[in-house]
Amino acid sequence: MKRLAVYCGSSFGASEAYKDGAIQLGKELAKRNITLVYGGSSNGLMGAVADTVLHEGGQVIGVIPKVLVDREISHTGLTELYTVDTMHERKAKMAELADGFVVLPGGTGTLEEFFEVFTWGQIGLHQKPCGLLNIEHYYDPLIHLFDHMIEQQFLQAKFRAMLLAEEKPDILIERFYHYVAPPIKTWKQEDGSHAS
């Protein structure tokens, strides 16, 4: 576990606890000598986690699309900053660089990034852990939605188990070390028939 991608808001949100959680995560990454891979912004929770890792002597890699360099205000003090052409390239580069994915509170962009890497794990494009840092129970509604997906038979339990959620960054990262990816999603049985 050398690098973790972190997805989170470019604002601080309504609770000071979100920023505190981002700072705790940054300290934990630096303490464990894990490089932060993130969206390259100096704003909000994105900036807080990056600044903390750097302040604690850790390494930070940012990936930002040209269209957001000025709007999100790219961080100028990073270990390394990739400027890419599109959002698709940003996500692909972050996924390529990372050994796992941590999601802090954020909005639709954060969720879109999370769901993409989660889905990639479902279909076997990677075997990397995906975890929610559930600060102040921010992601409880999303966790309940996953359970609803199982009840309504749109999600298999083995893939629900891919969703690691913890309130404390040290506990979440420890779970990452022991993560085992489930068998990949398929609609065919070994005999060639279709799964139900």
Domains and their CATH numbers in the chain:
3-177 (3.40.50.450)
Q: What SS3 class is residue 38? A: strand
Cβ atoms of residues 101 and 128 within 8 Å: yes
Query: Whole-prediction pTM value?
Result: 0.92
- The closest alpha carbon to 3, from 59, 45, 44, 51, belongs to 59
Q: For the purposes of burial, counting CB atoms within 10 Å of the CB of 21, is it exposed (0-12), middle (13-18) or buried (19 or more)? A: buried
How confident is the model at residue 38, as a pLDDT?
98
Q: Cα–Cα distance between 93 and 84 in angstroms, integer?
A: 9
- The closest alpha carbon to 10, from 52, 54, 50, 42, belongs to 42
CA angle in degrees (0–180, nearest 5) for 75-137-104: 20
Angle of helix 16-31 relative to helix 44-55, nearest 10 degrees? 30
List, for residues 28-54, the tens digit of each pLDDT value.
999 999 999 999 999 999 999 999 999
**Residues sharing a CB contact under 8 Å with residue 50, sequence separation 6 or more, in sequence order:** 26, 36, 38, 42, 60, 62, 75, 78
Query: Secondary structure of 122-142 in the HEC alphabet?
Result: HCCCCCCCEEEECHHHCCHHH
Annotate 67-108 with DSSP letters as a single string: HHIIIIIB-SS-SEEEEESSHHHHHHHHHHH-S-EEE-S--H
Q: Cα–Cα distance between 181 and 56 in angstroms, integer?
A: 31
- The series of mean pLDDT values per 10 residues for the chain, 196 residues long, is 97 98 98 98 96 98 90 88 95 97 98 97 95 98 97 94 97 98 74 52
How confident is the model at residue 122, as a pLDDT?
93
